[in-house]
Structure 1
């Protein structure tokens, strides 16, 4: 009986791992929910565009509650971004004097890279 129980536990673990890797369990915003809900209001970003000689263009943006470096960069671009996450993080740190993305503070203004 223990062998059958162990077999089913292993089967459930394997299936859940397969499901998580192929379909995923975290919401990604691409699927529709069963009941339509009110869209969350996202505050508009204050944007100023400037060009620096060493870098791609960047925008100066004040961080609002709930924003991350990646969410702000994705919001600035309408389509897919031509840079990897590592490039975005590196460019952000370079533009902001070594400030790490996890150290940004609400209400402060930072420079965010723009990719074409």
Structure 2
């Protein structure tokens, strides 16, 4: 019985090795199709209209103090819940400050922070 199981395992290993070397386990045609679909998705996203520029968007200039973050300052500028997601707040901050990342803010400098109105 042990010989039969050993022979079956050896045959399975040989077959798997043959299959992997001759046909392969990575899909050949699917990777090209996936790349084409990804490029089409990127092109569709590029064709979508961009949001209006925030040049006219309301903002308030604030001097950053130790411990302040973009979110803490925006929360301080608003009463109640803010009608924007964290991603929107960070995006708007970057737009108002010439692409400055929030983590690059410096203490004592003045930055523009977006103001949101409840709908």
**TM-score, normalised relative to structure 1:** 0.53
Question: What's the Cα RMSD here?
Answer: 1.6
What residue is the counterpart of 1:74 in the other structure? 75
Deviation (angstroms), 1:57: 0.5
Higher helix share: 2
Deviation by residue 1:41-68 (Cα, 9 ceiling, x = unmatched): xxxxxxxxxxx97442000000001100
Instruction: Say if 2:70 is the partner of 1:92.
Output: no
2: CA distance between counterparts of 1:53 and 1:110?
A: 15
**TM-score, normalised relative to structure 2:** 0.52
Alignment of 1:23-38 (within 5 A): none
Q: Which runs of 5+ in 2 are unaligned?
A: 1-52
What residue is the counterpart of 2:109 in the other structure? 108
2: CA distance between counterparts of 1:57 and 1:94?
A: 12
1: CA distance between counterparts of 2:101 and 2:54?
A: 22
